[in-house]
Structure 1
């Protein structure tokens, strides 16, 4: 898996996680074998996304996981966005992928 560095976008806010330089170590995220999981659709409340670039970053991180069939994001810029994931990936792997991309799941 290759990691590309992303330049800061001219109109990006300073609070945009996807455009800010990464301060964490990049690591590959894997999920448990899909034989243990069944296909389902689950929604996650994600905080910190402010633009379409943020959405693309989260979609890319989630789609990299084994077992993910589809990802859709309803962006609420600066608020709590909804990521809807269809597939057989464990919730823990999804949480890790979202956090490694620079965002966090909202507390319920």
Structure 2
């Protein structure tokens, strides 16, 4: 199956612990193989790159970010 990368914009992360929480929750989404956060924008909108096998289940990914305590959009 093809690997796809989806860019999510996550709002409100301020530190490495925030990144770890979001990453951990996103990796629970079926099909997600990797999560990358190259540049944290403290308290602002941060790009999060989610790699998945096939299309990302966007509603599940957004729910995972909410579970971590943040908001997102694709």
TM range (shorter): 0.7 to 0.9
User: 1:54 is matched with which residue?
Assistant: 18
Q: Which has the higher strand share?
A: 2
Q: Which ranges of structure 1 fall in alignment gaps of 5 or more residues?
A: 1-34
**What is the rounded CA distance, in whole Å, between the counterparts of 1:101 and 1:58 in structure 2?**
6
TM-score by length of 2: 0.85
Structure 2 unmatched ranges of 5 or more:
none
User: Which residues of 2 match residues 26-65 of structure 1 at below 5 A?
Assistant: 39-65=3-29
TM-score by length of 1: 0.60
Structure number with greater Rg is 1
Tell me which of the two structures has the higher relative contact order, counting C-alpha pairs closer than 8 angstroms and 6 or more residues apart: 2
Aligned-residue CA RMSD in angstroms? 1.8
